[in-house]
Each structure stands twice: as structure tokens, then as C-alpha cells.
Structure 1
């Protein structure tokens, strides 16, 4: 597939200065330097660039904004509520993961410091908003382009395949950073790669649900931004500052997060909320272009 080829190639190209320089992250509290930030930012834009390239040069049909669900559907208040949900749900899942890790004795909970909590939260939200454009770079590719094309008409087998394949592609796209200890510092690749596969396959349906219920990729972007920034920040903020942090045993990237996210995804699946048809009925028959009928998003291919 052209899209995946371009997205993966651009990812490896963006990470090449760090790979060639021998960069390796060995501690979860380790801050990233200027070069690392530039390479990460460039890599995060790769899926969107790949999607836009394919829409323009391969499929040659449809407006990019409509094709990739880059819209703010009416009623606007409903979409705004979906964006708040995209913030609240990952926050709740992270809190549940930290609670599970604490009860299991794997998360070194250091207590809640109420006096500075407001300042930390404000700074974390601001940082997430500043980084938000970069997460459009990822989700325009995964939720805007790849998932709808794999899902097809939303039938049973194609839908399951879409969730599994998109989640796996999303995880393996991170391979260069995993080789450098990015998401799981201190862990070898044969541990970090399977762990990332589990994390992405579980969290992807949450992002897709946010996209389906709103008809826009924007809530999925916000959800992804929270998981990758504020969720990681919560792990550090509420931990004992002197304790070592192992992402494999805490937060959304570890087994406590898998349990919390898996339970939530099971609820979404059992109640039909992961099916496009569920959201079509919820909107009383109104089907904006690209909202839940994925066939309407796919332009006619040039012959």
C-alpha cells in the first residue's frame, strides 16, 4: 500500500539522525533534547503527509478535508462535547491504570500534592494544546485515511480487520523509536515491540470511537494527544519522585493501562459503539459525508 510505504519511509528518514548518532533513552524520566524534539516532530507529520499525497496523486478525487474527516460538524456543540469526551476518557483510563498499578504494588504512588496540582494541570494542558498540530499529523493518517479504507462498508469481518491491521500498523510505525528505547526505556526491542503492539491495538478503538461519534478526526487527535503527553505526565506527577519508573508496569503503556483500556473497549464493543451503524442510528438517519458511512469518504480511483 502506497500510504504505508510513504508513512514508514518518512518515519525512518526523520529518525535517522538519532539512529545514526547512537541515541538511546535509558530512563523514563530522561528529558529529550532539541535534536530529539525536531526529529520527533518531523516523524509525527509523516502519516498526514502520506495520506495527503495518496489522496492527491493516487486516488485523485475528493477534497482532502472531507476525505480525511478534517471538519467540525454541526451541531457544533455536539462536536465540542465530543472533544471534551476525548479529554475526559483518557484521563479516566489513566487514573484507573495508576490505581491498578498502585494496588498491585508496581506503581510507586507518591500522593497528590494539592497545592501545586492546579499549576501542573494548567501547564500540562497548555503543553498539550501547543503540541496538538503534531498529533493531527498522525491521526489524519490513521483515523482519517487508513482505518476507513480498511473498514470498507463497516461489515463484521472488515471492521475487525480494520481495527487489528490499523492498530498493528500504528504500532510498527513506531519501530525506530522503540529501537532507541523511546516508549519503553531500558527494555530490549523484543519486549518493547510486542508491548507497543498490545498498547496500540487496544487504544486504537478508543480513538476510532471518538472519531465515529463526532464525524470528525479532531476528537481522535485530542485523545491521542492526551495519551501521549498528559497521561505520561500524570504517571510522573503522582509518582514518588525518588522511585524508578517502568512504563511496562504503569500508565497507559503498561499492563495496568491494558487492563483499563481493554475493559473500556469491551464495553464499547458489546454495546455496538465500535460499529459505524450504531452512530448512524444515533443521529436519527442524518449521515453527513464521511461521518459513519465510510464508503462516502472514498473517492473514485482513477483508472
Structure 2
């Protein structure tokens, strides 16, 4: 069967490239996150091949596609997962080609999302179609999920599907993210995002040393929020020192892939994979308010 599948892919390679170029042309930056054109493009392609599917809309501008095929014999369910939203284009002049052109030049396809991850979505869609034609030789089922919200957290994409559509919960999931050209990744760390807001009454910068004075001086006495933020950042950095205990099989597998991890992620990449990492993102400060005297 492997030979048959590879031959089929080779015979369809021009069509596959054409599909990808067309998908890149559908603008789907997130934010703002309007991916209706891209989802409609994939939906029309499935319709033309008589593949039944549903379009689910947790948000009118962020629809998701779900399609499931049951094979002849009972078995486990494989879920294919990819997203059509892409990171925004900040400077079109910096591009060799129009980022929404999908130009093919010297064996490379240029465009926003060509890598992350419209090429992956293309691979998943064609995998789904080809396997659907071999249902008599396969067991179990296969579910295709093409989602609209990944770049901003996935709350209305894969996250919403998992919470609301039970059939997408496969025994195994293949996600075609371009995480590494060196190795197939089999999992990912959990994530905890949080926002810290620090408020203080404010004070005149010349009198910050007068903290021992009476409350009568409260108009110019205040803790400095910037110093508080710096202390919080310093303390959070210590999270990286917490010990992480992996299950034996996972620890062994990670160890086996150490060399590839260092190649793919650079020196220290293995430690990032196997331990807690901490990142500080956007820092915003308030504006100085003007008061009438």
C-alpha cells in the first residue's frame, strides 16, 4: 500500500502545488482573524470531490471544517489537524514577491503561510482524500479538522472543537505544523499564560525616599510599579529551576532525540524541550495623567 500511496502523490503533484498556491492567495491574517475565504476555498475543494464535511462557526469570521470517514473495518480514529490562519504581514516591501501571490520560483513557493501552515493543510487535505479512496483496505476512521484560530491561541479553533465536537478527539492526532525539518515531533509542553497588572497611587519622583513620613504626605509617596514589576520578573525566572520529572518512556525518548533537538533548535534546545521555560512578552506602562490645580 505504501508504494501505491507514494505513486498517487507523485501523479497528483501538480494539482497539489496548484491547490497550495490558491490557498496562499486567500488572505487570512490573524489578527484580525477573518479566514472565511480560506475555509471556503478548502470547503469547495472537498465538495468537488464529494467529501461530506461540516462548517462550524463559533465565530462568524472564524469557521472550522470537520469531516470524518469510517473505514470498512472497526478500529481507532486518526485525527488530522491544521490551521489556515497566518501571522500578519507587517512590511510587504520586505518580500521578494507579493506575500499573497503563492509564486513558484526555482522549486520554492513564496507567500505568507506557505510554511506555517498552508503547506501542512494541503498535505492533510490530500492525505484525507487519498485515504478515503482506500477505505476497503483500512480499519477504523479518519477525521479531518481545518481550523481558523491558531495564531492567537486556538480558543475558537482546535480548542473549541475539542470542547464541543467529540468526534475530533482521535486516538492519535497528526498536526502538520512546520515545527522542525529534522524530526517528527510527538508531543508538546503545556502552557500557562497570564497577565500581571501593577497599580500604585503615584508620587513625585523627588520624594520617593520619604516613605517614613506621615500619611499627610501621601500625595507624593508611592511604591514604584516598575521596581515591583522587575522583582516579579526576577522571581518568575526561578520557575526554570523547578525539577521536572518525566515518565520513564518519555524521558528515554527525549534523551534519544537530544542530538536532533540541538541541531533543530540550536545549542540548549534540548533543555528547553525537557524543562520549564519562561518568557516575558509585552510590557505596557500607563501615561502620566494631567490634573487641574
Higher share in strand: 2
Normalised by the size of structure 2, how large is the TM-score?
0.30
Higher relative contact order (CA 8 A, sep 6+): 1
Rg larger for: 2
Higher share in helix: 1
